């Protein structure tokens, strides 16, 4: 309390250093602030708004379902969920899935499923999961332990047991880390929060071989890479290896909170009635929207167009790197999950982009993520590149003035 009896803390828990911007509405790739200013949204709500804002197909699906039934609980069949699951089974390695409200919950299900699989097969001691440095798997107690980042673990008590970590891409270290208690490996095919670090396809194939050799389950966290973001429906399809379990969320709801834990029948063997649950997971509203997202992402030509757009965007970012080598150090990423490693702090870079009315998102390793909606058009791409160029020019000028 202050001397005036006013609380110092904001009514919303201040766990985010928020930009002083509030948006009133969105249109495709644009967000319009409450002061009327338009912003080109190349952050897409952290890879969530895959189909942009106010997408007519998604609005129709949500409002139609809203007029019928919102929620029934998982004590009854949910036809929209059965339909979505069947479509995702047909489109992926998976035989079955559990619906959640978020990425972290999808990962919680994946972690529990891997432990249950080993226990069911007579190896309850194999509850350890090996993860990779720089990982991000969510903010629950188990997923911060899986991510292993000190800044997220600090002060929250003993780290949940059973997560061992090795450097990203280090096969030798991984081989050493696999022990009698190891039951699974968990990796993001492209580390998003960690700084848009792409796992080499050979590395993912080596993980698959190691899992098969040692009786481990391979878990992919495609919460950020999934649902077309990588240019394929899922990034694993690029590497040509399938996991046993996969967590998805972000893009599948296009902005409606929904996630899923996909698995093979073999991996899901222990997950029988009563072993796991969620009150809201897979509710009719979420399922209606996710089915509508799939309608568009699975439409013929959609992913090819994402790939073409991504290639052009990456080329143009590479040209900006050549023009502004004092600002941009490296361009990385796959599909429309691109990252700029900069020579100025990424917080400064994101602010300079915002000055040009372009929204982008910071990540680890001093990277700024460029994550446009997958529907981004040629004119918006050109506008985005111009804005990034203008931000680089402004930052260069500042550097020159300081020198
Ligand atoms: C965002 C993210 C999560 C966590 O998802 P939430 O919906 O915030 O719980 C987990 N893994 C990856 C790779 C992510 O990008």
pLDDT in tens, 82-106: 999 999 999 999 999 999 999 999 9
Confidence of residue 217 (pLDDT cuts 50, 70, 90): very high
pLDDT in tens, 264-316: 999 999 999 999 999 999 999 999 999 999 999 999 999 999 999 999 999 99
Confidence of residue 1 (pLDDT cuts 50, 70, 90): low
Of all protein residues, the one whose alpha carbon is nearest to atom 6 of ligand 1 is 103
pLDDT at 6 exceeding the cut of 80? no
CA of 1 to the centre of ligand 1 (A): 35
Q: Assess contact for 375 and 52: CB atoms under 8 A.
A: yes
Average pLDDT for residues 205-231, to the nearest whole number? 98
Predicted confidence at residue 2, as pLDDT, reads 65
CA dihedral 289, 95, 188, 337 (to 10 degrees): -40
Whole-number percent of the chain with pLDDT over 90: 98
**5 or 21, higher pLDDT:** 21
CA of 218 to the centre of ligand 1 (A): 18
Residues 42 and 228: their CA atoms lie apart, in Å, by 16
CB atoms within 10 A of CB 12: 8
Pocket of ligand 1 (CB under 6 A): 102-104, 107, 136-138, 188, 192-193, 221, 223-224, 249-250
Kindly report whether the global pTM for this prediction surpasses the value 0.95: yes
Sole residue written with tokens 């897979």: 282
pLDDT at 137 exceeding the cut of 90? yes
Predicted confidence at residue 403, as pLDDT, reads 84
- In a 3-state reduction of DSSP, which class is residue 113? helix
Whole-number percent of the chain with pLDDT over 70: 99
Q: What is the β-pairing status of strands 96-100 and 30-33?
A: unpaired
Q: Which domains does the chain have, with CATH numbers?
A: 23-55+301-402 (3.90.1150.10), 69-297 (3.40.640.10)
Predicted confidence at residue 7, as pLDDT, reads 74
Helices marked H in 137-222: 141-147, 150-153, 171-177, 201-214
Phi, then psi, of 247 in degrees rounded to 5: -100, 135
Q: Assess contact for 188 and 147: CB atoms under 8 A.
A: no
Q: Assess contact for 270 and 116: CB atoms under 8 A.
A: yes
Helices marked H in 50-195: 56-66, 79-91, 103-120, 141-147, 150-153, 171-177
CA of 90 to the centre of ligand 1 (A): 24
Distances (CA, A) of 124 to 115, 145, 161, 270: 7, 19, 14, 12
């Amino acid at each position: 309390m202050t001397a005036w009896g006013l609380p110092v803390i904001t009514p919303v828990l201040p766990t985010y250093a928020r930009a002083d911007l509030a948006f009133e509405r969105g249109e495709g790739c644009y967000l319009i602030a409450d002061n009327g200013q338009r912003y080109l949204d190349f952050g897409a709500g952290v890879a969530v708004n895959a189909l942009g804002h106010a997408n007519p197909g998604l609005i129709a699906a949500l409002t139609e379902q809203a007029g019928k039934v919102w929620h029934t609980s998982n004590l009854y069949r949910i036809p929209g969920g059965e339909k979505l699951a069947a479509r995702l089974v047909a489109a992926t390695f998976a035989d079955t899935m559990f619906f959640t409200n978020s990425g972290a919950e999808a990962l919680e299900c994946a972690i529990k499923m891997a432990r249950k699989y080993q226990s069911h097969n007579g190896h309850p001691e194999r509850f350890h999961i090996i993860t990779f440095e720089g990982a991000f798997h969510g903010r629950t107690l188990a997923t911060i332990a899986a991510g292993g980042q000190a800044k997220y673990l600090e002060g929250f008590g003993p780290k949940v047991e059973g997560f061992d970590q090795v450097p990203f891409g280090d096969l030798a270290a991984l081989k050493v880390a696999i022990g009698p208690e190891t039951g699974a490996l968990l990796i993001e095919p492209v580390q998003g929060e960690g700084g848009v670090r792409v796992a080499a396809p050979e590395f993912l194939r080596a993980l698959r071989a190691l899992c098969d050799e040692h009786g481990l389950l391979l878990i992919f966290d495609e919460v950020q890479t999934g649902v077309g973001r990588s240019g394929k429906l899922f990034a694993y399809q690029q590497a040509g290896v399938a996991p046993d379990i996969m967590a998805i969320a972000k893009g599948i709801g296009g902005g409606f909170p929904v996630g899923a834990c996909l698995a093979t029948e073999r991996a899901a063997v222990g997950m029988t009635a009563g072993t796991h649950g969620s009150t809201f997971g897979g509710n009719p509203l979420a399922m209606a929207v996710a089915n509508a997202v799939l309608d568009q992402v699975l439409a013929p030509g959609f992913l090819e167009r994402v790939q073409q757009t991504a290639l052009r965007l990456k080329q143009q970012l590479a040209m900006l790197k050549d023009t502004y080598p004092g600002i941009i150090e490296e361009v990385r990423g796959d599909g429309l999950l691109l990252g700029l490693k900069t020579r100025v702090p990424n917080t400064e870079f994101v602010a300079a982009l915002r000055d040009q009315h372009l929204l982008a998102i910071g990540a680890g390793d001093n990277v700024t993520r460029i994550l446009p909606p997958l529907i981004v058009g040629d004119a918006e791409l050109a506008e985005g590149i111009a804005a990034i160029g203008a931000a680089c020019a402004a930052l260069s000028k500042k550097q020159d003035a300081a020198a």
